[in-house]
Amino acid sequence: MSDAFTLDSLLTSSPIFYNEAFKQNQGVGMVSQRTRNRLVKELIDLGVSDYAVLNVIKTTPRHLFLDEAMASRSYENTALPIGFAQTISHPWAVAKMSAWLFQNGPLCKVLEIGTGSGYQTAILAQLSKHVYSVERIEPLLTKAVSVLTKLQFNNIKLTLSDGHWGWPAYAKYDGIISAASPEKLPEELIEQLAVGGRLVMPLGGSDKQLLYGFVKTETAYTEECLGEVLFVPMKTGLVKAEKV
């Protein structure tokens, strides 16, 4: 079967939902399955060809991870604001990074740096046995927990923490992904990878960022530049919720 035929069938076949909660939260109108299919078609046209990743994007209700005022734009191929100077990642970036991370198939343990809205977390959780996600902004983490609970995931652990340090308690990881860009590679993340593990993240400042893929070896790591990107900077410290 050719890749083109497989991807064409993805656009025309009935969706297979991760669980009943996904099925019950698919939306109508501007947040319907039809709009998700259009997004998948756009990603395919942009060169994304990983069937498993595209299939997950096809059925994941991105609108749940945004404020109601932004819902009508949920399936545009663009980053959108979620508050605290953060964004829900560009779907193309989510697809590209996920496709590289899962290039060799599903993974057992994946660490996500920056839970944010929880959308990327939901994508990862459908392609991994266990997902560990850290977020430094408490109000964002609280909202993400609410949505991920609504979608009835049972393979995600989340914590309030500075992403530079990863989550050493659950290391070693088969994959690590970050949608925030530090100036240089945090060595702590490489240390928390298993040998053969894969890390995908942007590096650079506000003037220029490049997306890199790293694979840990017995003695060091290899790196591959995946192109120019634009993500929010990786910051240090915690932002706690205001007490009422």
pLDDT for 54-64, tens place per residue? 999 999 999 99
What is the tens place of the pLDDT at every residue in 161-187? Answer: 988 899 999 999 999 999 889 999 999
Residue ranges of the domains in the chain? 3-233
Active site residues: 89
Q: List pLDDT tens digits, range 90-103.
A: 999 999 999 999 99
* Ranges of H-type helices in the chain: 3-12, 20-24, 33-45, 51-59, 91-101, 119-125, 138-150, 187-191
For residue 64, what is the DSSP state?
G
Tell me which of 4 and 76 has the higher pLDDT: 76
Predicted confidence at residue 2, as pLDDT, reads 44
Confidence class of residue 1 from pLDDT cuts 50, 70 and 90?
very low
pLDDT band at 242 (very low <50, low <70, confident <90, very high): confident
CB 173 within 8 A of CB 214: no
Interval 117-142: pLDDT, tens: 999 999 999 999 999 999 999 999 99
Q: Which two tokens stand for residue 146?
A: 């609410």
- Mean pLDDT for the stretch of residues 1-17: 77
State pTM to two decimals: 0.94
Q: What is the mean pLDDT of the chain?
A: 93
Is residue 3 over pLDDT 70?
no
pLDDT in the model for residue 241: 81
What phi and psi, each to the nearest 5 degrees, are found at residue 203? -135, 140
- 21-59 pLDDT tens trace: 999 999 889 899 999 999 999 999 999 999 999 999 999
What does the alpha-carbon distance between residue 233 and residue 173 come to, in Å, rounded to a whole number? 23
Q: Quick one: 3-233 is in which CATH superfamily?
A: Vaccinia Virus protein VP39 (3.40.50.150)
